[in-house]
């Protein structure tokens, strides 16, 4: 099983457990509603809150214990990933554009297509476009550079930490995320947002998964 699949499965297990704990607490409190304002209501509500908090603490500890080894394994693989160097043709094309005073948008796009299978060349081209203040629509890559993949992994760590320990600060509720498939869940955790072009977004997530799983072509 790929690491990103394991990551999504463990995250989803935590979210299901969190929702179940919340539902149980709400059910208990609802049953006490007729006694609202009484000492019995206050005591039983406090007991229910203690039970909920204890259950959440166990749930969070279990999630961290299971997620951390997966995240660490992905990080080690990225650290060991070799850099895919541009071909001579790609390097010449990028260097030529970087040295020229005037570059057209169409030339940048043509070069981007030429470098589509090399994340390192695309990063150099993006820097060239950025230095000139020119827009550059990058083609969907087959994989990501280790640097880009590490950025997404760092985002996933922060997202999971927020979901587990500070859910009130999260961008999405647990119930909302449980409706996601693996690609959407992983995309949200890693900070990949679906754009207008759904195919490009899907292709990018596939490239990100390939890089994080360490099985890029």
Tens-place pLDDT, residues 111-146: 998 988 888 888 888 888 888 888 887 777 777 888
| Cα(127)–Cα(121) distance, integer angstroms | 10
More confident residue, 109 or 201: 109
H-type alpha helices, the chain: 3-31, 39-79, 88-99, 105-114, 119-131, 146-165, 174-177, 182-189, 198-213
- What is the per-residue pLDDT for 197? 44
Segment 156-199, tens digit of pLDDT: 999 999 999 999 888 888 988 999 899 989 999 998 865 544 44
CA R_g for the chain? 23
CA triplet 43, 44, 47: central angle to 5 degrees? 90
Segment 29-71, tens digit of pLDDT: 999 988 888 999 999 999 999 999 999 999 999 999 999 999 9
Contacts of 62 (CB under 8 A, 6+ apart): 14
| Cα(207)–Cα(215) distance, integer angstroms | 10
Say if residue 9's pLDDT is above 60: yes
- What is the per-residue pLDDT for 63? 97
| Closest listed residue to residue 191, CA positions, set 132, 139, 150 | 150
Say if residue 200's pLDDT is above 60: no
More confident residue, 34 or 12: 12
Say if residue 86's pLDDT is above 70: yes
**Pair of tokens at residue 143:** 């994989």
Mean local confidence (pLDDT), 15-29:
95
């Amino acid at each position: 099983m790929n690491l990103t699949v394991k990551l999504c499965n463990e995250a989803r297990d935590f979210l299901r457990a969190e929702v179940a704990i919340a539902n149980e607490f709400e059910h208990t409190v609802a049953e006490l509603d007729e006694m609202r304002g009484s000492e019995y209501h206050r005591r039983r509500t406090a007991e229910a809150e203690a039970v909920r908090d204890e259950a959440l603490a166990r749930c969070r500890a279990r999630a961290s214990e299971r997620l951390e080894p997966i995240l660490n394994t992905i990080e080690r693989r990225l650290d060991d990933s070799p850099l895919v160097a541009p071909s001579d043709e790609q390097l010449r094309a990028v260097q030529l554009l970087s040295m020229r005073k005037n570059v057209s948008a169409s030339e940048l796009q043509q070069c981007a297509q030429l470098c589509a299978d090399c994340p390192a060349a695309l990063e150099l081209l993006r820097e060239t476009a950025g230095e000139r203040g020119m827009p550059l629509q990058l083609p969907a890559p087959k994989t990501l550079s280790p640097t880009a993949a590490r950025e997404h992994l760092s985002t996933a760590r922060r997202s999971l930490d927020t979901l587990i320990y500070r859910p009130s600060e999260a961008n999405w509720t647990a119930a909302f995320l449980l409706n996601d498939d693996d690609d959407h869940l992983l995309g949200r955790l890693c900070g990949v947002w679906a754009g207008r072009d759904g195919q490009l977004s899907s292709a990018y997530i596939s490239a990100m998964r390939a890089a994080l799983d360490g099985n890029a072509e």
